[in-house]
Amino acid sequence: MNYIWAVLVSLCFVTTASAERVKDLASVEGVQGNALIGYGLVVGLNGTGDGYNSSPFTTKSIIAMLERFGINIRADIATMKPKNIAAVIVTAELPPFSRPGQQLDVTVSSMGDSKSLRGGTLLITPLLGGDGQAYVVAQGALSVGGFALAGKTKTVTKNHPTVGKIPNGGRIERAAPQGFRANQKQIILRLNHPDFTTVRRLQQAINRRFGKDIAQASDAGTVEVQNIENNAVMMVADLEQIDLMTDHAAIVVVDERTGTIVMGQEVKIDMVAVAHGNIHVSVGEDASVSQPKAFSEGKTTTTNKSTVKVKEDQTKLVVLPRQVSLTSLVSALNSVGASPSDMISVLQAIKAAGALHAELKVI
């Protein structure tokens, strides 16, 4: 575990020391996807659909669908048992610059108490955007990566059989909303992780690339660039290829559930002494039988004997110098035999002492 933690830290060190493209660090305002959602029915299930009592909306949806085909079954609603049909929620992401006729993948998720969507087919389902307009129509056979098998006394389930995908199952019927135009006057870049130092470097790199003061940082995460080429498409293509050295605050990320610790090279600590030791407590119960002598009036009794053992590991005291490097910190914590959970406690204690110059983020 210590080796894995050291590797994570080393990877962090290597990543922050290299330049990255603007394309990987920032997004262009107006170029974004749009979430879509729809409600539909999956048919053709092998008895793993929704139940009548627990999912009444499925039955009502079936009635409404059949009535559109001129079939009235409201008088027989009490006898309906739609075990081969399931109500589902269909979701998709409409990419920017999408045009009618293009296809995209859709995700289908069970809404009721269906046991599995394996082998089902989604009926035609319109997918709506946030404005209530239908942008995509989805239909097709589901691809489910899991299964659920049930017997009288045992059930076997693999992965999530109530969620499936339809590759290219959605056809775009309406063009995506346009927030980006080739003739717009300026291009706005937004950093994925706002930082004052990084945004200044981005402004300087753009001005150096074009030889003019066309970029201006408006806040820690936004740079406004003049469209001097009169074609924002070509301008963005040039901006995306600019290399940039990033900068960010010193952060130590701790996941107490898995014992994972990740920190960057910016993490520094003041002079501090670290002691590490574990106390092992073992409590045991032994039962002994007391047997009276023959022809005596005594009774056989059982007595309990408790034993408590306490063992404390040898404690090591390590002194870390001021502004210790990342490598020294890892070596020092490993030298005292600290496990990931112990390292978490040590880092929290150093932070509480005011010697850790980084944000300690526990997730």
The pLDDT tens digits of the residues spanning 132-154 come to 999 999 999 999 876 555 555 55
Residues 81 and 146 placed together within one structural domain of the fold: yes
Q: How confident is the model at residue 250 (pLDDT cuts 50, 70, 90)?
A: confident
Are residues 162 and 61 both part of a single domain? yes
Instruction: Show which of 225, 244, 263 is a domain's final residue.
Output: 244
Q: For the residues 254-264, what does the mean pLDDT come to?
A: 77
88 in a structural domain: yes
pTM of the model: 0.67
Same domain membership, residue 165 and residue 66: yes
Non-local CB neighbours of 208 within 8 Å, separated by 6+ positions: none
Q: Do 203 and 261 fall into the same domain?
A: no
DSSP state of 37: E
Please count the other Cβ atoms lying within 10 Å of the Cβ belonging to residue 267. 21
- Shared domain for 102 and 224, answered yes or no, is no
| The pLDDT of residue 319 is above 80 | no
Pairing of β 268-269 and β 272-276: unpaired
Residue 88 and residue 189 in one domain = no
> For position 252, what pLDDT does the model report?
82
Least confident span in 179-183, 215-219, 226-230, 280-284: 280-284
User: How many C-beta atoms surround the C-beta of residue 325 within 10 A?
Assistant: 14
Same domain, 234 and 258: no
pLDDT at residue 224 greater than cutoff 80: yes
Give the range of the structural domain holding residue 316, as residue numbers without chain letter: 252-280+312-362
- Same domain (yes/no): 185, 268: no
Least confident of 89-98, 185-194, 339-348: 339-348
* Whether the predicted pLDDT of 52 surpasses 80: no
- Assigned domain for 114 exists: yes
What is the rounded distance in angstroms from the CA atom of residue 363 to the CA atom of residue 351?
Answer: 16
286 inside domain: no
**Of 20-29, 71-80, 180-189, which gets the smallest average pLDDT?**
71-80
Among 172, 188, 221, residue at a domain's last position: 172
Residue 279 has a pLDDT of 45
Tell me the pLDDT tens digit for each residue of 335-352: 666 677 777 777 777 788
Contact between 3 and 339 under an 8 Å Cβ cutoff? The reply is no
- Residue 4: predicted pLDDT: 42
pLDDT reading at 69 higher than 90:
no
Looking at the fold, whether 27 and 42 belong to one and the same domain comes out as no
Q: What is the 3-state secondary structure (H, E, C) of 331-356?
A: HHHHHCCCCHHHHHHHHHHHHHCCCE
The packing angle between helices 196-210 and 232-240, to 10°, is: 120
Residue 225 resides in a domain: yes
* Residue 14 covered by a domain: no
Cα 23 to its chain centre, rounded Å, is 22
Structural domains counted in the chain:
3
Point out the domain boundary residue: 123, 141, 172: 172
pLDDT at 57 over 50: yes
Residues 260 and 344 reside in one and the same domain: yes
Chain mean pLDDT for the chain: 79
Tell me: do 272 and 260 sit in the same domain: yes
- The verdict on 159 and 262 lying in the same domain is no
> Tokens 């010193």 appear where?
250
With bands split at pLDDT 50, 70 and 90, how would you rate the model's confidence at 229? confident
Residue 182 CB-half CA count within 13 A: 5
Residue 9 lies in a domain: no
CB atoms within 10 A of CB 176: 19
